[in-house]
Chain A
């Protein structure tokens, strides 16, 4: 059986030694080295060329998230699984973006850890269901976020449409816009339809939000 050659990175030696003993007791894992901080794990990864690195996040000097990024840039084939007490979303998402194959919390039981590590070795994600749920939520949030309006789309609006949109963003009603620009309310509605069509938006509330986000108010007020 081919053993996964594992490098452990954690600043708590007692934890490292215990984890090393758990892994070494398995037929398919072999701990080939240990590191106590982010710089040491980079150096040992270059030297030992492990199959897998179990990476703590909170380490002195260089943290595990940055170490993951640097190691994956140099050694893209190595599988890095984060094993940490920190469950915050930012660390999770950044570690995954930096190339981590998994993100596990230290309160995991050894049996579950071994299942996850074997999955990671097969190229699968090693993420506990709770953290996986957070990743899906983040994915949904990002996919639902409306796209930014390009400069071309903004300039595709006529001068008058930009003025109308600016007033919409300030909370003006169609009647108020008509009075402000000395045009009929039907013309305002016509401009509004054109604005929504050009920006591919559903209703004026979205248009107002986009105008605020894209800074159109300041542009049209110039």
Chain B
């Protein structure tokens, strides 16, 4: 049986609750709601290991988001910008950058100057 993507709805505002209720009708997804103000929210996210996190961009929670970008690059981060009716997908693609040459390569690759390296970076610092 195919595993359903686990989506974590971060925040318990009326908007996020409405989204949670609406997405609950989507059988292809598994949903979990969590309030970002909970004191152990970081550990909870870590233990749940969701496939994606949906959050409101306007809620100030940048330390948590930056931590996820840096430490959990496998989790898709979907920032909801209600005022502009859009979702911003935060890209946590990572590269190894030990030397200035590495950095130049990365900048050139990410800006499209040269072909992007095909080997992703792992947390251990080695290409796979």
Given A18-B22, A21-B21, A25-B21, A108–B14 Cβ distance below 8 Å? yes
How many Cβ-Cβ contacts under 8 Å join chain A to chain B? 48
- For the side of the interface on A, what is the size category? 10 to 19
CB pair B14–A19 under 8 Å, yes or no, is yes
- Select one of A14, A107, A108, A110 contacting B85, CB under 8 A: A14
For the complex, give the distance between the alpha carbons of A104 and B77 in Å.
30
| Interface residue tally for chain B (C-beta within 8 Å) | 14
For the complex, give the distance between the alpha carbons of A13 and B18 in Å.
12
B15 within 8 A of partner (CB)? yes
Q: A14 contacts which chain B residues (CB < 8 A)?
A: 15, 19, 80, 82, 85
CB pair A13–B85 under 8 Å, yes or no, is yes
Q: Chain B contact residues: over half helix, strand or loop, or mixed? A: helix
Given A12-B82, A13-B85, A14-B82, A109–B21 Cβ distance below 8 Å? no
CB proximity to A under 8 Å, residues B28-53:
none
CB pair A15–B15 under 8 Å, yes or no, is yes
Chain A: CB-nearest residue to B25 = A21
CB pair B85–A17 under 8 Å, yes or no, is no
A157 within 8 A of partner (CB)? no
A71 within 8 A of partner (CB)? no
Which A residues have a C-beta under 8 Å from some C-beta of B?
12-15, 17-22, 25, 106-110, 113
